[in-house]
Structure formats: C-alpha cells, structure tokens
Amino acid sequence: MTDAAESPETGPAPKPLLGAADIRRLAGELGVRPTKTLGQNFVIDGNTIRRIVGAAELDPTETVLEVGPGLGSLTLGLLDAAAHVVAVEIDPVLAGKLPNTVEEFRPGASGRFTLINQDALKVTELPHQPTALVANLPYNVAVPVVLHLLEHFPSLRHGLVMVQDEVADRLAASPGSKIYGVPSVKAAWYGTMRKAGVIGMNVFWPAPKIHSGLVAFERQEQPETRASREEVFTVIDAAFAQRRKTLRAALSSWAGNGAEAERLLRLANVDPSARGEVLDIAAYIRIAEARIPMQA
C-alpha cells in the first residue's frame, strides 16, 4: 500500500511515499535479500520519512547528498523538499533500480536526481556541490561516512543523519560525559552535532534489534589553528586509545616520552593528570599546536 494520506481539510494530499507493500514489491522484483554487512534496513513508513525530511530543515534550492538510498524511501521525500538529490549507493542491484523507482513515483523528477553507484567512503568528487547531507546511514560505517564526507565536501553546511541510537548519542556528546569519545571530538572539528530524535524499530524492513537516532549538524567555521586536521586527529586517537590513562601517559608515545608529553600539555594549558574525555576540540587543537615550533 502506497502511503498517500488523503487530507481534504489541509489541502492537496502529500505525494506518495513508499509503504511496506511498495518495499516488498520492489525488493521482490529485484530478488533483494537485505544484508547486515551493508546495513540494509529499509524504511517502510511515510511518516518517518516526513519526520526526517522535516528535521533536516532543507531550503527548496538546496542540493542534497543522500548516502545509501536503498530502494528509494528517503530519496522520494528529499526530491519533494530540495532542488536536486545526489544519491550514492554501493549496492549495484539497488542502484540499478532506483532511477525507475524515481520515474514511477515522481514522474518528471529524474532531471533533479543523480545516482552514483559507489562506496561513499571512496567518493571524493561529485558532479553537483551538495549543501546538505541527509541519510539513513548504513550503521556499521556511519561515523566514518559522516567524517569522510565532511572532510571532502566543504560545501556541506548542514545535515540530518539517522544512525544507531547509541552512535547518535556519541556524536552529540559533550566533554565529560561517559559516551564522549573519538566520534564526538572529531565531529566537533567540523561543527555542532545535536540529537534530533529517536526512531523505533518497526518502521524498517527488516526491523533492526536496536533503536535509531537522528543527529542534526551545522558546519562551523574551520578552527583557526597552526596544526593540520591530521595532526589534531592523531592526538585525539592517542588520547582515547588508552581512555583510562591520564593524558600524560596516553600521549607519551605521541610526544616521545612522558616528560615531553607533560611539557607539551602544560604548554597547551591542559592538566597532564586529566583524561582525554574531559577535553573539548579546542584543547586538542592546543595540544597539537604545542608540538609545532613557532615561526621566528
């Protein structure tokens, strides 16, 4: 059953989105058996799509990047809210069908839709500059995909992604909280992340065993720093590789030895006996900079 609720009091009915029967039919036509390896859980509920698209706060002139369009559930909602959708799908069978689905459910919208059959982690160029990332991400690669795209596409200024609920909490965590970790600090390099809701399991086929979470992000100005992103990320990785250790101990290999780690931490105005989980991105930047000699 296609999800196209009639609403005589509120004007024209919304355009049809994919319901459970559409997903079953499309998957049947393709002989698709969703795989866990590719995180294939397809949304079968139009209200969830409307909620995601609404929370993404898209401007109708925007070009949206969607990763993992799958059978097209979210793609159709995005085509209604944005000027152009660029979708990157790794599965060639799903990718092969998607243009037909767009034509079937949104006749005439094909010119506003670009499909790329590729691994999102390897994409470094796109034919259109996307301004927003909106995606129901494959859960096993969600954080690397978000960080990779923010790094390679500076045109992305905001977005809304659906990830495992626990990962959503991690991405949006603040310093000092138990779940604050590498994804939280690295994401903060690019901008602000905010938890934007929880999604139940029954809106997917097949239903996952865990809840999903929505994360909204806004890109901020790139931090002013003499250290490169790679140098800052190396410090972050080292600090959290030994989460229970003090920063003096955790950063001793990075600095050369414990005494040097302590000297650099003090130079960066960071307490050497603190742990990595209490530092914000600005502190990590200061530590990375402490190791770079000042120009004369």
By CB under 6 A, name the binding residues for ligand SAM: 38-43, 67-70, 73-74, 88-91, 94, 119-121, 136, 138, 141
In the complex, what is the shortest distance from the CB of residue 213 to ligand SAM, in angstroms, rounded to a whole number? Answer: 13
Nearest to 55 by CA among 177, 184, 145, 162: 162
Contact indicator for 226, 170 with CB cutoff of 8 Å: no
CA distance 261 to 257: 6
CA distances from 199 to 143, 145, 191, 193, 208 (A): 18, 20, 24, 17, 11
Task: Indicate the residue among 74 and 281 with the shorter CB distance to ligand SAM.
Answer: 74
| Preceding amide of 206 cis, omega within 30 | yes
Task: Indicate the residue among 138 and 213 with the shorter CB distance to ligand SAM.
Answer: 138
In the complex, what is the shortest distance from the CB of residue 186 to ligand SAM, in angstroms, rounded to a whole number? Answer: 18
In the complex, what is the shortest distance from the CB of residue 217 to ligand SAM, in angstroms, rounded to a whole number? Answer: 18
CB-count burial class (<10 Å; 0-12, 13-18, 19+) for 143: buried
**Category of 293 on φ-ψ map: left (φ > 0), alpha (ψ -120 to 50) or beta:** beta
- Token representation of residue 138: 């494959």
In the complex, what is the shortest distance from the CB of residue 50 to ligand SAM, in angstroms, rounded to a whole number? Answer: 13
In the complex, what is the shortest distance from the CB of residue 90 to ligand SAM, in angstroms, rounded to a whole number? Answer: 4
Task: Indicate the residue among 89 and 277 with the shorter CB distance to ligand SAM.
Answer: 89
b/e 4-17 (16+ beta carbons within 10 angstroms → b): eeeeeeeeeebbbb
Tell me the residue number closest to ligand SAM, measured at CB.
68
CA distance 88 to 80: 18
In the complex, what is the shortest distance from the CB of residue 235 to ligand SAM, in angstroms, rounded to a whole number? Answer: 27
Task: Indicate the residue among 68 and 159 with the shorter CB distance to ligand SAM.
Answer: 68
Task: Indicate the residue among 148 and 170 with the shorter CB distance to ligand SAM.
Answer: 148
Task: Indicate the residue among 91 and 277 with the shorter CB distance to ligand SAM.
Answer: 91
